[in-house]
Structure 1
Amino acid sequence: MSRGRASSVRVRSVGVKRLVAVVSALAVVAAGCGSPGAPVDPAPVGSVEQPKPANAGPAQVDVEGAAAEDCNATASLPPQGGIPSGSTMDEIRERGYLVAGVDQNTFLFGFRNPTTGTLEGFDIDMAKAVAKAIFGDPGKIRFRAVTSAQRIPALTAGDVDIVVRTMTINCERLKEINFSSVYYVAGQRILVDENSDVRTLADLEGQKVCASKGSTSLKNIAKAERKPIPIQVDDWSDCLVMMQQGQVEAISTDDTILAGMAQQDPTTKIVGERFTEEPYGIGIPKEDKDMVRFVNAVLEDVRGGEWQKSYDRWLAGPLGSAQPPAAKYK
């Protein structure tokens, strides 16, 4: 056999072997894909509970501690403008900015604009008015987001200079902090699904009703005669999520807060009349009485025009016309 012919034979032989190997491999793959057998269920699952917001659950409320007191709570210290040397306001001015505890989850009062990322709302306008009075510039302010339950601890720890966060003035809270004069009066009502027949708390006997931890609303739910089940959350937006998921039957808090929720979710409605009166004040540390007088002077100016502008921008649409509440002083 010639050298050329021998080489040709060896090449054909190698080619045949490679073809056989490929065909064998394909046969193995085909055999593996032919019959997958019965599927295996490694972890049978029954019913699955929907996830809840962090820290959401049944509320433990001290109803006895919520008893009404008569301390003339809404009467604040008389206003006094100016910034004397060594005053609380002077120290804030030296620092270069005001620190305000606010909400960032309550639409219309304190919320983060999804387009600009800035905090906006009626309470934000009130806080900026204080900064403007100290610095001549409403932008010299740093906001610190606090939950309802964090409002008083933030003030007593000195983490913030003021708290402007839909905060009801009452005798119990006045034992720990000071308040400005009243800058808004709200009232507690109920938010439910648009198809609900609920009209009052009495209609919610034995059913779950959501409110924010540390709020007066939660205590009012717990005190209700027909015993709804109070469910507490960190932020009001968590209540709306839980109601949308069917984890609570209703939300009950100030009509101001509910109005924002109803605008965010048109499939809900506010029902019933106000069954409480909630006078809002700016929270201030107990020892800073000069700051209380200064903030009251700011609010006197705000009532002269800026209050109405802010109200008309944020609240007149869902809540109707209103005027600033008259101040009461000791």
Structure 2
Amino acid sequence: MKRLVGLTLAALLLAGCGGYDDTATPAPPTAGAAAPAAPSECANDGTQLRSYEPSGDVGEGPAVSDIRTRGRLIAGVAADTLLLGARNPNTNQIEGFDIDMVYAIAAEIFDDFDPDAPGRRVELKVITAADRIPLLQDGTIDIVARNMTINCARWEQIAFSQEYYSAGQKVLVGKGSGITIDDLAGKRLCAPSGTTSLENIEKVLGAEPVSSTDNSACMVLFQNGEADGVSTDDTVLAGLAAQDPYAQVLKSDFLTEEPYGIGVNADDRDLVELINTVLEDMRRDGRWQASYDRWLRPDLGVAGVQPAPLYGR
């Protein structure tokens, strides 16, 4: 039965990989293709959350002007992460909390953005976690809205918006497996390549890391018995557990803190400032809360609070 569930999930995800006119889906890269982390002497003590404070000429800089001239915003997103960014099999469109962030940014850039026809002004490019930094650096994509943790080493390679969601790493295992949060030593836990979650499996949990290309691939390894569980952000695990009746997220405090930011090319400070303006507007007008209540609250079961911005970079 476990294998059947895994194959069913894999088939569903593969069936959803067909694109629509404004979505590009690349061939899956090999696991372990993450860009090497830049040497860093910084500490993730909260100062890494400082971003660029919006200035008086937000929206008038070169990066934003280039996007307007092109006529569309190109965003790197997930299509297999239920609740955050996943393809709806009924509409063939990608949707979720992270996708709402993309559309809010596009609405600030383009006066004629239509939420009922977002493909006219937004290209959602499906990428893996390992692709995020390289594709920002080479200009293939303008932003990453793919549950990306802000940390010091990444700031040395790209730029980030203010924090838009406070997540934390947890562990998903099989119901009836007997595995507890205090019994992870030597257990095989999967996380996608190029993620802080994969690093934390050994460093924080003392477990054996198993890497794969994305969250859905980790889930299939778990369902086929090639991993004892999956360990990544609580938001991701909530979506995975919602798809598999044999899986459960172990109850625990956050094992790590995973502050999400919108990733941007390091040279595009004007775009970062525009995104920060959008996030502040979403706080005031309730759009952030409405998106959280729609996508995350039902499965996480807790009230969400939008993080306060930190500036001064």
Settle same-fold status: TM greater than 0.5: yes
- Residue of structure 1 equivalent to 2:241: 262
In structure 1, what is the Cα distance between the partners aligned to 2:243 and 2:270? 39
In structure 2, what is the Cα distance between the partners aligned to 1:54 and 1:285? 21
Inter-CA distance 141–286: structure 2 relative to 1 (3 Å threshold)? same
1:165 to 146, 149, 160: 146
* Contact 2:59-2:271 at 8 Å conserved across structures: no
* TM-score, L = length of structure 2: 0.82
* Contact 1:99-1:160 at 8 Å conserved across structures: yes
Residue ranges of structure 1 left out of the alignment (5+ in a row): 1-49
In structure 1, what is the Cα distance between the partners aligned to 2:42 and 2:152? 10
Inter-CA distance 103–204: structure 2 relative to 1 (3 Å threshold)? same
1:3-22 residue pairs with structure 2 within 5 A? none
Q: Quote the RMSD (CA, aligned, Å).
A: 2.5
In structure 2, what is the Cα distance between the partners aligned to 1:290 and 1:101? 19
1:87-236 residue pairs with structure 2 within 5 A? 87-136=62-111, 137=113, 138=115, 139=118, 140-200=121-181, 202-224=182-204, 227-236=206-215
In structure 1, what is the Cα distance between the partners aligned to 2:296 and 2:266? 31
* Contact 1:221-1:230 at 8 Å conserved across structures: yes
Deviation digits for residues 94-147 of structure 1 (CA, Å, limit 9, x no counterpart): 111000000111000001101110010000000111101011315210011110
In structure 2, what is the Cα distance between the partners aligned to 1:97 and 1:171? 30
1:43-62 residue pairs with structure 2 within 5 A? 55=30
Inter-CA distance 55–96: structure 2 relative to 1 (3 Å threshold)? closer
- Residue of structure 2 equivalent to 1:329: 311
* Contact 1:76-1:180 at 8 Å conserved across structures: yes
In structure 2, what is the Cα distance between the partners aligned to 1:293 and 1:281? 13
Deviation digits for residues 34-62 of structure 1 (CA, Å, limit 9, x no counterpart): xxxxxxxxxxxxxxxx99998469x9x98
Deviation digits for residues 176-228 of structure 1 (CA, Å, limit 9, x no counterpart): 0000000000000000001122222x512222110010000000012136x32
1:78 to 20, 44, 53: 53
How far 1:79 sits from its partner (Å)?
A: 1.8
* Contact 2:173-2:230 at 8 Å conserved across structures: yes
Matched position secondary structure for 1:187: strand
Q: 2:110 is matched by which residue type in structure 1?
A: F
* Contact 1:71-1:171 at 8 Å conserved across structures: no
Q: Could you say which structure has the larger radius of gyration?
A: 1
Q: Percent sequence identity over matched residues? A: 45
In structure 2, what is the Cα distance between the partners aligned to 1:209 and 1:287? 36
How far 1:69 sits from its partner (Å)?
A: 4.5
Moved over 4 A (4+): 50-57, 64-71
Matched position secondary structure for 1:92: helix
In structure 2, what is the Cα distance between the partners aligned to 1:252 and 1:67? 25
Larger relative contact order, structure 1 or 2 (CA cutoff 8 Å, min sep 6): 2
In structure 1, what is the Cα distance between the partners aligned to 2:293 and 2:204? 34
In structure 2, what is the Cα distance between the partners aligned to 1:169 and 1:69? 9
Inter-CA distance 112–91: structure 2 relative to 1 (3 Å threshold)? same
Residue ranges of structure 2 left out of the alignment (5+ in a row): 1-5, 11-27
1:313 to 249, 273, 294: 294
